[in-house]
Structure 1
Amino acid sequence: MSPTDPGTTAPTLLKVANLQKRFGDHEVLKSINLEVRKGQVLALIGPSGSGKTTVLRCLNGLEIPDGGEVSFSEGPTVAFVPGTTQKQAQVLRTRSAMVFQNYNLFPHMTVLENVIEGPVQVQRRKRKEAVSAAQSLLGRVGLAEKQDQYPHELSGGQQQRVGIVRALALKPSLLLFDEPTSALDPELVGDVLKVIKELADEGWTMVLVTHELAFAREVADEVVFMDQGVVVEHGHPDVVLRNPRNERTQQFVHRLLNPF
Structure 2
Amino acid sequence: MSPTDATVGPAVLQVRGLNKSFGANAVLRGIDLDVPRGKVVALIGPSGSGKTTILRSLNGLEMPDAGSVTVGARGATAGSEPAGAGGSGVVPQLPALSLDFDAKVTPKEIAALRDRSAMVFQHYNLFPHMTVLQNVIEGPVHVQKRPRTEAVAEADKLLDRVGLLEKKDAYPFELSGGQAQRVGIVRALALKPQLLLFDEPTSALDPELVDDVLAVIKELADEGWTMVIVTHELAFARQTADEVVFMDGGVVVERGPASQVLRNPREERTQQFVRRLLHEI
Report the TM-score when normalising by structure 1: 0.96
* Aligned partner letter, 2:23: G
Q: CA deviation at 1:259?
A: 1.9
**Alignment correspondent of 2:257:** 236
The 3-state SS of whatever aligns with 1:109 is: coil
Structure 1: tracts of 5 or more residues without a match: none
Is the Cα contact below 8 Å between 1:61 and 1:86 reproduced in 2?
A: no
Q: CA deviation at 1:139?
A: 0.2
For the residues of structure 2 that align with 1:34 and 1:86, how far apart are their CA atoms? Answer: 24
Is the Cα contact below 8 Å between 1:28 and 1:228 reproduced in 2?
A: yes
Is the Cα contact below 8 Å between 2:4 and 2:37 reproduced in 1?
A: no
* Aligned partner letter, 2:216: V
Alignment match of 2:177 (pick from 156, 163, 184): 156
**Alignment correspondent of 2:49:** 50
Is the Cα contact below 8 Å between 2:131 and 2:169 reproduced in 1?
A: yes
Aligned pairs (5 A) from 1:30-109: 30-72=29-71, 73=73, 74-81=95-102, 83-109=104-130
**Alignment correspondent of 2:11:** 12
Give the percent of matched residue pairs that are identical in Structure 1 and Structure 2.
68
Is the Cα contact below 8 Å between 2:8 and 2:37 reproduced in 1?
A: no
For the residues of structure 2 that align with 1:148 and 1:81, how far apart are their CA atoms? Answer: 45
Deviations 1:173-227 (A, max 9, x none): 1100000000000000000000000000000110000000000000000000000
**Alignment correspondent of 2:243:** 222
Q: Which moved more, 1:87-96 or 1:30-39?
A: 87-96
Structure 2: tracts of 5 or more residues without a match: 74-94
Alignment match of 1:166 (pick from 178, 187, 198): 187
For the residues of structure 2 that align with 1:9 and 1:134, how far apart are their CA atoms? Answer: 28
Is the Cα contact below 8 Å between 2:3 and 2:194 reproduced in 1?
A: no
Report the TM-score when normalising by structure 2: 0.89
Alignment match of 1:204 (pick from 220, 225, 249): 225
Q: CA deviation at 1:75?
A: 1.7
**Alignment correspondent of 1:247:** 268
Deviations 1:209-248 (A, max 9, x none): 0000000000000000000000000000111000000000
Is the Cα contact below 8 Å between 1:64 and 1:89 reproduced in 2?
A: no
Q: Which runs of 4+ in 1 moved over 6 A?
A: none
For the residues of structure 1 that align with 2:8 and 2:190, how far apart are their CA atoms? Answer: 28
The 3-state SS of whatever aligns with 1:252 is: helix
For the residues of structure 2 that align with 1:248 and 1:237, how far apart are their CA atoms? Answer: 16
Is the Cα contact below 8 Å between 1:180 and 1:210 reproduced in 2?
A: yes
For the residues of structure 2 that align with 1:60 and 1:215, how far apart are their CA atoms? Answer: 24
* Aligned partner letter, 1:218: Q
Q: CA deviation at 1:94?
A: 1.1
Number of equivalenced pairs: 258
For the residues of structure 2 that align with 1:86 and 1:53, how far apart are their CA atoms? Answer: 21
Q: CA deviation at 1:3?
A: 6.2
For the residues of structure 2 that align with 1:81 and 1:157, how far apart are their CA atoms? Answer: 40
For the residues of structure 2 that align with 1:193 and 1:206, how far apart are their CA atoms? Answer: 13
Is the Cα contact below 8 Å between 2:243 and 2:257 reproduced in 1?
A: yes
Deviations 1:20-68 (A, max 9, x none): 1111111100000000000000000000000000000000010010000
For the residues of structure 1 that align with 2:193 and 2:8, how far apart are their CA atoms? Answer: 21
